[in-house]
Amino acid sequence: MVASEHKISEQWDEAIETGIKRMAYGLAGGAVAALVLFRGGASRATTIGFGAGVGFGSTYADTKRAFEQLSATSAAPTSATKSQGANTTAVAADEVVVVKE
């Protein structure tokens, strides 16, 4: 396995582990809040689902940030050439180019 594949594999393992933990904590927190605050089944289910969603959302945000940092450190800043018809522009890899026709 190549070193970059190993880093990506480790990142996915960490993301899955973190996701399971945070969703479980969100479910548990949502369940406690639902039992304390609400009497109806639908309200409780909604609160539990919200807790799981918070856990999933925080995992998604952290995982996205980690993969962006991983790709930023592994990609060397190189020049690329964008070509659209008669317009040709040389840009760095971290720049965003908008071409309007």
pLDDT in tens, 72-100: 776 655 544 444 555 555 555 565 656 67
Return the DSSP state at 85.
T
Dihedral of CA atoms 29, 30, 35, 36 in degrees, nearest 10, equals 70
27 pLDDT band, cuts 50/70/90, is very high
86: in domain: no
CB atoms within 10 A of CB 42: 8
- Going 38 to 39 to 42 to 48, the CA torsion angle's sign is positive
Q: Is 6's pLDDT higher than 70? A: yes
85: in domain: no
Distance CA 54, CA 31 (A): 13
Q: What is the pLDDT of residue 60?
A: 93
Q: Which residue has the higher pLDDT, 11 or 86?
A: 11
- The answer to whether the pTM exceeds 0.75 is no
67: in domain: yes
Print the domain residue range for 44: 3-76
What is the number of domains present in the chain?
1
> What is the token pair recorded at 66?
């980690």
